[in-house]
Every structure is written in structure tokens, then in C-alpha cells.
Amino acid sequence: MSENMDGDGLLRLIRKDVIAFNRFRLKDPGHKIDFSAETLNSASLAGANLSGVILTNAWMFNVTLCGANLSGAFLKGVHGRGANLDGADLSGADLRDADLTESSLINVNLAGASVNRLDISGAKISRATFEQLVEAIKSTVTIVE
């Protein structure tokens, strides 16, 4: 596998073989990956290492990201209706303006995530995830008594 793989090559790789994609990430952890506005609808990306990956405005309807590492990922404006993010690590991720309506967010790590205008209407969410969302929202607002 080429160390200088471009965005299109990496996009093809992750769609085809998440394990090989993760191996690439391990070999070249500093490689900047930008999947902005790309289409990953219905892709099976369970366990993918997408830490720090730019996914701004990506199309991710019904994508499976169970157990994926999305820590520090840029998901601003992502179109992720119906996504399965159970067990995913979204710590420090930018989820501003993201659409995760009707998604599954069971036991998701949202510590330090930016969640302004995150739409989770109709989502399945665990208590732990809900509590982290509340803390994230509290950190962005001023409560007036």
C-alpha cells in the first residue's frame, strides 16, 4: 500500500476494507485525511480509526460506525440520519450542525465534543450518552436565574 495514498484512494480503501484502512492509519498516523462532502451512505465502518479525520458535510446516511474511533474528528454539518454509532468514541469531535436524527447513540463517548445545533431527534440514546450531552450543552450556555 502506498504511503502517499490520496483522498480518493483512502475513500475506496475504507469502503472496501476497514482493517487495511486502520493498518494504513497505524503506519502513517500523521497523514491528514479529508473526506469532506464525500458520500459514505450505508457503508459498514465498524471499528474504523477515523480519529482526527475531516468529515465536514459528509453524507453518511445509515452508516455503521459501531466501536469506531472518531475522537477529534471534524463532523460539522455531517448528514448522518439513521447512523449506528453504538460504542463509538466521539470525544473531542466537532459535531456542530450535524444531523444524527433517528441514529443509535448507545454508550457513545462524547467527552469534550462540540454539540452546538446537533440534531438527534428520534435517536436511540443511552443514559451515559445523554448525561455527556447535557454536560456538553451546559458548557456552551449561560444559565440565567
25-74 pLDDT per residue, tens: 999 988 999 999 999 999 999 999 999 999 999 999 999 999 999 999 99
Cα dihedral 8→14→16→18 (10° resolution): 160
Beta strands, E only, 36-113: 104-105
Instruction: Specify the higher pLDDT residue, 112 or 89.
Output: 89
Q: What share of the chain is helix, strand, coil (3-state, %, to 5)?
A: 20, 15, 65
The tens digit of pLDDT for each residue in 10-26 reads 999 999 999 999 999 99
The tens digit of pLDDT for each residue in 109-143 reads 999 899 988 999 999 998 878 888 887 777 766 66
Quote the DSSP letter at residue 124.
Answer: E
What is the percentage of the chain residues whose pLDDT exceeds 90?
77
pLDDT in the model for residue 127? 84
Query: Cell 476494507 appears where?
Result: 17
pLDDT in the model for residue 123? 92
**Which domains does the chain show, CATH number per domain?**
1-145 (2.160.20.80)
Q: Could you tell me the pTM of the whole model?
A: 0.89
